[in-house]
Amino acid sequence: MTMPNKSPPADCGWQHQILSTLKRSGVEIIAYVPDAAHSVAIREANEDPDTTAVSCTTEEEGIAICAGAHLGGKRAAMLMQSSGVGNCINMLSLISMCRFPLLVLVTMRGEWAEFNPWQSPMGQVTEQSLGLMGVRCFRAEQANEVLTQLEGASDSAFNGDQACALILGQRLIGRKAWVK
């Protein structure tokens, strides 16, 4: 077996911008299925007294939670990994039928320097799948793009009344250390 190349550690400063940016956008509820690249935002959301963090057993739960939150007048966002997008497909019909605003943050696997081939089938159709179900995709590939793209996706969701996903590229996230 050939081990992955070594490359400089990714700039992870953007991870600390996620929750603060969401809060500035008025988001009070964060639903999530954990991913390593969301770990900072998940920890901060759980520690923040003004944020309700909801741990989901599958990503489609988070889609329905975001819809329910909007029904009740609060803004929610969902954090997931690209593999979880496949779990959401039919639940996204709730979003399109009722025209709920939606903000999903998707960390990518299976698209750049991926070690685990099982991540590739879903990772390579993540954006298409979201698009097929009527979710607009915004993308960040560089650390300095995350803030602007998140603000754009958030405004489009909550002011523009759209279903939006911010795709956080695997190159932005960096290589996963498989052998510790």
Partner 1 sequence: MSILNRRDAVARLLKGRKEALVVTGLGAPSYDVMAAGDHDSNFYLWGAMGGAAMVGLGLALSQPGRTVLVLTGDGEQLMGMGGFATIGVAKPDNLVLIVLNNEHFGETGMQPSHTGQGVDLVAVAKACGFTSSERILDETGIEKLCASMHLRDGPIYAEMVIGTDEPERVLPPRDGVFIKNRFRKSLGLASI
Residues at the contact surface with partner 1, assessed by CB under 8 A:
28-29, 31, 52, 54-58, 60-74, 76, 90-91, 93-94, 97-101, 161
Q: What sign does the dihedral 153-158-160-165 (CA atoms) show?
A: positive
Q: Which amino acid is at 51?
A: T
CA distance 136 to 86: 16
Q: Which of 88, 167, 79 is nearest to 133 (CA)?
A: 88
Residue 101 Cβ vs partner 1, minimum distance, rounded to whole Å: 8
Residue 126 Cβ vs partner 1, minimum distance, rounded to whole Å: 21
Q: What is the DSSP string of 50-84?
A: T-EEEE-SSHHHHHHHHHHHHHTT-EEEEEEEHHH
Which is closer to partner 1, CB of 96 or CB of 142? 96
Which is closer to partner 1, CB of 103 or CB of 108? 103
Which is closer to partner 1, CB of 98 or CB of 113? 98
Which is closer to partner 1, CB of 146 or CB of 153? 153
Residue 55 Cβ vs partner 1, minimum distance, rounded to whole Å: 6
